[in-house]
Amino acid sequence: MKILIAVTHLLGAGHLTRAAALARGFAGAGHRVVLVSGGMPAAHIALDGLEVVQLPPLRSDGTDFTRLLTPEGPADAAYLARRGAAMEEAARTLAPDVVITELFPFGRRSLAAEFRALIAAARQANPAIRVLCSIRDILAPPSSQKKADRTAALLADLYDAVLVHSDPAIVPLSLSWPVTPEVEAKLRYTGFVVAGAEAPAPQARGREVLVSAGGGSVGRPVFEAAVAAAGLAPDLDWHLLVGGADAAQVCAGLAQDAPANLRVEPARPDFRTLLARAGASVSLAGYNTAMDLILTGVPAVLVPFDAGSETEQGLRAEGLARLPGFTVLRAAEVTPEALVASVRQVMADTPRPRGGFALDGVGESLRIVAQMGEAS
């Protein structure tokens, strides 16, 4: 089949990570895949070997997802029109059998026009097209019934199915979204999507505390607290991995006058391998990070991102905290002292068994799409 996956990440890069994992899975199964990416380039996400169409990029103004910014400033109508034209051209050129929109119509409502235009162009190129939505386990709940109704109407009018990358026994979509019978009929649970290779083999855990909190202003308070925590806990080795386009600059600032037991460097592609041998992890509670923590079984302190009205990571962290070896430290509670205490708590906790989760989200997505293709 020919498959087009459209994704625009606006704040973190988790959406692009999942979309790329799906693209690799479909390509590995022999399908032709075009990944249309509309967010800022993310150097730490490997897209080599994939057929990628990079749109004129956008990011959000912090957690204000209605204010869209280009690398130079606010996005105007002409800039958005260039994005829409590029999406439509990608659809006409590929004439896909399947279109998968990541998050839309459950989110990215400010980009609804370009997603709808993409679907229309793809359907014109191939009237037998199948249209699916791809979403993570937990969504930002709709702020009004009107928005929920609008999403349900778009699903009814344009979509054949929704790939929910979760295990319904652990995190059903209804935990964060009003699921009507009509919406329920569209849902296809795939299990969690785990990007990249399988988990490394279990290793003896050392005394390293691996701190990862993304880039930009989102993770800065966690990194700053970790620098001070290293001075309070000289028996532990603190290893900070900083993401984002300005990672080198941020690393230099954090490393100034750092204690000898602190190491700071930009985010690395072998993150999962580092987790497998770490004594503990300190991180946010994003989808992909949660998958890495589950796979490696590392004791983990979760600091869920909760700025503005964000609830996604808090809900996920609460669910994980029911398992051994997890504890939650709210952003407002992050101090060097609290961080050290939380790290020592999880390191002393009962080891967490690896497994017990549905983690073949890519493989199950392949099976679902293949079955839909056979039925068309």
Average pLDDT over residues 61-74: 90
Q: Do domains 2-196+358-375 and 208-348 have the same CATH topology?
A: yes
How confident is the model over 142-160, as a mean pLDDT? Answer: 96
CATH topology (fold) of 2-196+358-375? Rossmann fold (3.40.50)
* 32 and 2 Cβ atoms separated by less than 8 Å: yes
Coil, strand or helix: which one is 67?
A: strand
In angstroms, how far is CA 23 from the centroid of its own chain? 15
DSSP 96-130: -SEEEEESTTTS-GGGHHHHHHHHHHHHHH-TT-E
Neighbours of 297 (CB within 10 A): 20
- Could you tell me how many helices (H) and strands (E) the chain has, helices first? 12, 14
Which position has the token pair 């068309």? 376
pLDDT higher for 46 or 5? Answer: 5
User: Average pLDDT in the 282-309 region?
Assistant: 90
| 48, two tokens | 């080599």
275, 281 Cβ separation under 8 angstroms:
yes
According to DSSP, the residues that pair with 262 across neighbouring strands are 238
Quote the mean pLDDT of the chain.
Answer: 91
pLDDT for 197 beyond 70: no
Closest CA to 365 of 187, 169, 222, 107: 187
pLDDT given at position 22 = 96
The residue ranges of every structural domain in the chain are: 2-196+358-375, 208-348
Model pTM score: 0.82
pLDDT band at residue 199 using 50, 70 and 90 as cut-offs: low
Is CATH 3.40.50.2000 what the domain over 208-348 is classified as, yes or no? Answer: yes
> Which of 338, 355, 354 shows the shortest CA–CA distance to 346?
338
What would the mean pLDDT of 198-226 be, rounded to a whole number? 83
Q: Dihedrals φ, ψ of 299, to 5°?
A: -60, 135
What pairing do the DSSP bridges indicate for beta strands 64-69 and 51-61? antiparallel
In this prediction, residues 178-207 reach a mean pLDDT of 86
The pLDDT assigned to 63 comes to 80
pLDDT given for residue 358 in this prediction? 85
pLDDT digits (tens, 9 = 90+) for 11-38: 878 899 999 999 999 999 999 999 999 9
Average pLDDT on 203-229 reads 87
pLDDT above 90 for 89: yes
